[in-house]
Amino acid sequence: MELTELWHFPRPELARAYLSTLNAGLVTSTTIFAPRRTGKTAFLLRDLKPLAEAEGYTVVYADLWQTRQTPGAALVRALEEALEPHSLLEKIVARLHAPVKALKAKAEFAGTKLEGQIELANDRKWEIADAALLLDALVAELTKRRPVLFLIDEAQALGRSKEGEEMARALRTTLTKHQTKLRMLFTGSSRTKLGHVFTNANAPLYSAASAVQDFPLLGDDFVDYIARRFKESTKRKLDTRAAREAFELFGRRPEPLMETVLAVMMSPMLTFAEAVSMQQIKLARTENHEGTWNGLDATERVLVRMFADDPSMKPFAKATLVKIRKRVGIEDLQATHVQKALGRLAEKTVVAKSPRDVYEFENESFADWVRNIVD
Ligand X SMILES: Nc1ncnc2c1ncn2[C@@H]1O[C@H](COP(=O)(O)OP(=O)(O)OP(=O)(O)O)[C@@H](O)[C@H]1O
How far is it, in rounded angstroms, from Cα 371 to Cα 160? 9
Contact 333, 324 (CB under 8 A): yes
Instruction: Pick the piece of the chain touching ligand X (CB under 6 A) from 29-37, 275-283, 285-293, 331-339.
Output: 29-37
Contact 205, 152 (CB under 8 A): no
Confirm or reject binding of residue 164 to ligand X (CB under 6 A).
no
Which residue, 34 or 304, has its beta carbon nearer to Mg ion? 34
Which residue, 42 or 313, has its beta carbon nearer to ligand X? 42
Which residue, 152 or 264, has its beta carbon nearer to Mg ion? 152
9: partner contacted, choices ligand X, Mg ion, none (Cβ within 5-8 A by kind)? ligand X
42: partner contacted, choices ligand X, Mg ion, none (Cβ within 5-8 A by kind)? ligand X
Confirm or reject binding of residue 4 to Mg ion (CB under 5 A).
no
Nearest distance, CB of residue 296 and Mg ion, angstroms? 26
If we measure between CA atoms, which residue out of 253, 257, 275 comes closest to residue 266? 275
User: Which of 21, 23, 28, 41 touches ligand X (CB under 6 A)?
Assistant: 41
Contact 157, 65 (CB under 8 A): yes
Considering only residues 235-264, where is the footprint of ligand X by CB under 6 A? 254-255
Contact 192, 96 (CB under 8 A): no
337: partner contacted, choices Mg ion, ligand X, none (Cβ within 5-8 A by kind)? none
Contact 160, 197 (CB under 8 A): no
User: Which of 18, 31, 40, 167 touches ligand X (CB under 6 A)?
Assistant: 40
Which residue, 67 or 189, has its beta carbon nearer to ligand X? 189
Nearest distance, CB of residue 5 and ligand X, angstroms? 5
- Cβ neighbours for 197, distance < 8 A, ≥ 6 positions apart: 155, 156, 158, 159, 165, 168, 186, 188, 203, 204, 205
Beta strands in the chain (DSSP E): 29-33, 58-63, 148-153, 182-188, 212-214, 351-353, 359-361
User: Which of 4, 21, 23, 41 touches Mg ion (CB under 5 A)?
Assistant: 41
Nearest distance, CB of residue 218 and ligand X, angstroms? 6
How far is it, in rounded angstroms, from Cα 27 to Cα 184? 10
Element (H, E) at 370: helix 364-371
Length of the chain (residues): 375
Give the sign of the dihedral formed by CA 126, CA 128, CA 129, CA 135. positive
- Cβ neighbours for 223, distance < 8 A, ≥ 6 positions apart: 240, 243, 244, 247, 257
Confirm or reject binding of residue 4 to ligand X (CB under 6 A).
yes
Nearest distance, CB of residue 184 and Mg ion, angstroms? 17
Confirm or reject binding of residue 189 to ligand X (CB under 6 A).
yes
How far is it, in rounded angstroms, from Cα 151 to Cα 225? 27
Contact 100, 83 (CB under 8 A): yes
Confirm or reject binding of residue 36 to ligand X (CB under 6 A).
yes
Nearest distance, CB of residue 7 and ligand X, angstroms? 5
Nearest distance, CB of residue 107 and Mg ion, angstroms? 31
61: partner contacted, choices ligand X, Mg ion, none (Cβ within 5-8 A by kind)? none
User: Which of 29, 30, 31, 38 touches ligand X (CB under 6 A)?
Assistant: 38
Which residue, 198 or 307, has its beta carbon nearer to Mg ion? 198
Nearest distance, CB of residue 350 and ligand X, angstroms? 21
Residue numbers of the site for ligand X (CB under 6 A)?
A: 4-5, 7-9, 11, 34, 36-42, 65, 189, 254-255
Residue numbers of the site for Mg ion (CB under 5 A)?
A: 40-41
